Amino acid sequence: MTAPTRDDPSYDLDDVGTNPSKNPSFNDLIASRLSRRHLFGLGVGTAGTALLQACGGGGGSGGGFLPIVPPPPAPAPPPPAPPAPLKLNFNPVAKSLADVVTVPAGYTASVLYRLGDPIAAGVAAYKNDGTDDPATYDRRAGDHHDGMTFFGMNGSNKWDAANATRGLLVMNHEAITPSFLHPNGQTVVGGVRTVADEVKREFYLHGVSVIEVNKSGNSWSYKQDSSFNRRVHTLTEMTFSGPAAKTDYLKTKFSTDGSKTRGTLNNCANGTTPWGTYLTCEENWAGYFRRTAGMANDDKNRTAKELKSFSRYGVASTGRELWATVTPDTADNQYGRWNTEVLGASAIADYRNGHNTYGWVVEIDPFNPSSTPKKRTALGRFGHEGACLGPVVVGKPLVWYMGDDSRNEYIYKFVSTKNWDAADVGGGMAAGDKYMDDGRLYVARFDADGTGKWLELKLGVNGITSSNTNYAFADAADVVINARLAADSAGATKMDRPEWTAVNPKNGDVYVTLTNTNASSRPIASTDGANPRFYNDKKGTSDQKGNPNGHIVRFADDNADPAALSFKWDVYLFGARSTAAADVNVSQLSADNDFSSPDGMWFSHAAPGLLWLQTDDGAYTDVTNCMLLAALPGKLGDGGAKVITNTDGTTTLTQNTFVGKAPGTDGLRRFLVGPKDCELTGIAESGDGRALFVNIQHPGENTPVADLGDPAKFISHWPQGGNARPRSATLVITKDDGGLIGL
């Protein structure tokens, strides 16, 4: 299989699916009796059990990430007065196709950190014309800003979650828009990159930024010469830990014992730890590795298992940026490392295993700029979107919820073996070694009756054995490296592209955005309870069939125990045009809150219960650019059972499901609309919640190559305006009266 390339305008390099397994579609279970009993009486948490989540944007108020110790049983203090319920308090922003950022009256959105901005003393301002010195890009903002966390920092340069005026802002740079990085886009001659300096820029523009940010008056800026500023990119050395570390699967010419690799890329959503480090997640990494149809001769050098793994992970293209094609190679194989071919006498003589060194959750300690990032292999290898930390309770295991964003992929969780000890706050990478290298990896099965099961991915269980006829698992490393194949064996439920995960700090409910899917990946006969819609969302005269608007599934682990092996679920919210039919616009969205393709999602710490939703959409873009919405969700089971009638124009089928209560404008409002051809992704808040950091990714990215010669034809010029090239950038949003954002 040769995957399409950027030259094919219909192909989205971040929208892939490679799951051929026959895992359950609930058609088999369609006759199952639906029961709502499980949705009643879902008291979450036991008396005195404190819940706190800390994924994604970080920050936090009044103690932020710090764990809360269950109080002693007696004497019982008088019950505190219940906090006033949150109320959205802004006028919804209208949908817009303008090349601007729009926020409600009473708010100010300022640009903080743009593609190319310098983060070290002596680095010149970014000219933004493709001529900046490639050697400086390891000290400039990367491209495609994505998942992001604010780590408050005190005067002793230590983590202080509640800090409202100073912090380290850590963010992913997922990918690049090559059109705007070089004098005239990428120079490609006969399928070969011929300008090594262009590739050098691209190596540096992927990865992660750490920048120090400070508040002065009511405005924020980053400190160009801070000693904490750092770029982690595709050349940064990192080590492996967990079951796959130092195994044959990870041996390369660069690391003959399989202990390390270089770089991270396609860093999409993010996550945090209760000890104060950052997690960056490698999503669509497979496309960067070169394995073309022309390498058919290479197949004879590969085992059947290796070929199966290539196929299941979609390593099957020319390499999306053609990095492997640059000649001559460097002595340390900066280009050749992207070529998966068997070229040498053994794995330590080439990069036949290079692809195995990507697809991981990577831990970075932002407070230690010289620390080496670690790829935590116990959390499995797949198309990691994010890793949201669940409730943190002293004496209990830690849990991270994770989506695998490709069509028909799965939802996972990792549960630590060690129980949380608050003494590990500030423990850096050593704490990561304690909690993230040893634990249990599970994948989710959503059953038709509104319950679900966590299926363990471990050698010897759930068909994950050496006698598995699809893929014979050899050892623990094989299981985590080929986690998708293990999940296939376990019988996980195929989902409509799992993006971000978020945990409600008020009750522990877990939310997962399922951004969208198409008719070929989920035909009308393949809907199921947790992925229940099939419809045609007409865009102009074009059909968009399947589930092009996406939805958000919600679940609660039984007994509020993150280590539980079962859960209950419903669908919190469905994307749709407000004008769509009732069985499409199931959540009864209005002009004030309709949206499509949810992706970024994060619960505020300063205002527990306030949920932020971001869109990465191509379906509703005839009407509006992508957006940020504020939500006040209820809880699992606040709606009820529902039968949805699906139609593709000729066939009509019904689908049983469970849906959340329709939000109305009290529960969901559009807060921000971005510039043209962007996605909204990445969100964080200062320690007091009075500054909201939001990323605008890839404005104008679909500008046709033929139009690059005429700047007036660029789809977007944001944020500089005029005829400037567009730039991904971080916004900081403040309320003009200094109050909490959105409330």
Phi, psi of 247 (to 5 degrees): -115, 165
Q: Which is nearer to Ca ion, 353 or 703 (CB)?
A: 703
Q: Which of residues 594-623 bind ligand FEO (CB under 6 A)?
A: 599
Nearer to Ca ion, 353 or 614 (CB): 614
Render the burial of 641-679: b for 16+ CB within 10 Å, e for the rest: bbebebebeeeeeebbbbbbbbbeeebbbbbbbbbbbbb
- What kind and span of H or E run contains 486? helix 483-490
How far is the C-alpha of 85 from the C-alpha of 395, rounded, in Å?
30
The closest alpha carbon to 323, from 357, 282, 354, belongs to 354
Give the one entry of ligand FEO, Ca ion, none that residue 283 binds, where binding means its C-beta sits below a cut-off of 5 to 8 angstroms depending on kind: ligand FEO
Binding partner of 321, given Ca ion, ligand FEO, none, CB within 5-8 angstroms per partner class: none
For residue 173, the minimal CB distance to ligand FEO (Å) is 11
Q: How far is the CB of 515 from Ca ion (least distance, A)?
A: 5
Residue 478 near ligand FEO by CB under 6 A = no
Smaller CB separation from ligand FEO, 341 or 499:
499
Shortest approach of ligand FEO to residue 363 CB, angstroms?
A: 19
Cis-peptide into 82, omega within 30 deg = no
Complex with ligand FEO: residue 173 or 260, whichever CB lies closer: 173
Give the number of other Cβ atoms within 10 Å of residue 567's Cβ. 24
Whether the Cβ atoms of residue 522 and residue 535 lie closer than 8 Å to each other:
no
Q: Provide the CA 405 distance to its chain's centre, in angstroms.
A: 8
Size of the residue set binding ligand FEO (CB under 6 A): 8
Q: Does 409 bind ligand FEO (CB under 6 A)?
A: no
CB nearer Ca ion, residue 629 or residue 644: 629
Select the binding partner of residue 694 from Ca ion, ligand FEO, none (C-beta < 5 to 8 A, by kind): none
Does position 282 interact with ligand FEO (CB under 6 A)? The reply is no
Asked if the peptide bond before residue 719 counts as cis, ω within 30 degrees of 0, the response is yes
- Measured distance CA(158)–CA(742) in Å, rounded: 29
Binding mask 167-206 for ligand FEO (x = CB under 6 A): -------x--------------------------------
Backbone angles phi, psi at 474, to 5 degrees: -95, -40
Q: 3-class SS at 481?
A: helix
Smallest gap, in angstroms, from Cβ of residue 304 to Ca ion? Answer: 33
Contacted entry of ligand FEO, Ca ion, none for residue 365, CB cut-off 5 to 8 Å set by kind = none
Site for ligand FEO in 575-594 (CB under 6 A): none
- Position 510: which residue type? V
499 binds ligand FEO (CB under 6 A): yes
Residue 147 vs 562, nearer CB to ligand FEO: 147
Applying the rule CB under 6 A, the residues between 365 and 404 that interact with ligand FEO are: 385
**CA 123 – CA 499 distance, rounded (Å):** 36
Interface residue with ligand FEO, options 99, 298, 363, 405 (CB under 6 A) = 405
Radius of gyration, alpha carbons of the chain? 24
Provide the binding-site residues for Ca ion, judged by CB under 5 A.
268, 499, 599, 616
Nearest distance, CB of residue 499 and ligand FEO, angstroms: 5
Least Å from the CB of residue 597 to Ca ion: 7
Residue 471 or residue 718: which is nearer to Ca ion going by CB? 718
Q: Which of 283, 509, 528, 570 binds ligand FEO (CB under 6 A)?
A: 283
For residue 173, give both structure tokens: 């740079």
**Please, which residues have CB within 8 angstroms of residue 49's CB and are 6 or more apart in sequence?**
70, 393, 560
Smallest distance, ligand FEO to C-beta of residue 268, A:
3
Q: Which residues are CB-contacts of 624 (< 8 A; sequence separation ≥ 6)?
A: 95, 96, 97, 673
**Residue 693 CB, nearest approach to Ca ion (Å):** 16
| Closest distance of CB 289 from ligand FEO, Å | 17
Structure tokens at 75: 């004497």
List 93, 250, 268, 415, residue binding ligand FEO (CB under 6 A): 268
* Residue 14 within binding range of ligand FEO, rule CB under 6 A: yes
CB of 614 to Ca ion, least distance (A): 8
What's the per-residue H, E or C state across 165-225? CEEEEEEEECCCCHHHCCECECCEECCEECCHHHHHHHHHHCEEEEEEEEEECCEEEECCC
How far, in Å, CA of 551 to CA of 573, rounded? 6
- Distance in angstroms (rounded) separating the CA atoms of residues 102 and 109: 8
The helix (run of H) or strand (run of E) holding residue 697 is strand 692-697
If the CB atoms of residues 160 and 385 are measured against ligand FEO, the closer one turns out to be: 385
Q: Which two tokens stand for residue 72?
A: 């002693």
Pick the closer one to ligand FEO by CB: 528 or 599.
599
Select from 280, 93, 161 the least CA-distant residue to 733: 93
Residues at the interface with ligand FEO (CB under 6 A)? 14, 174, 268, 283, 385, 405, 499, 599
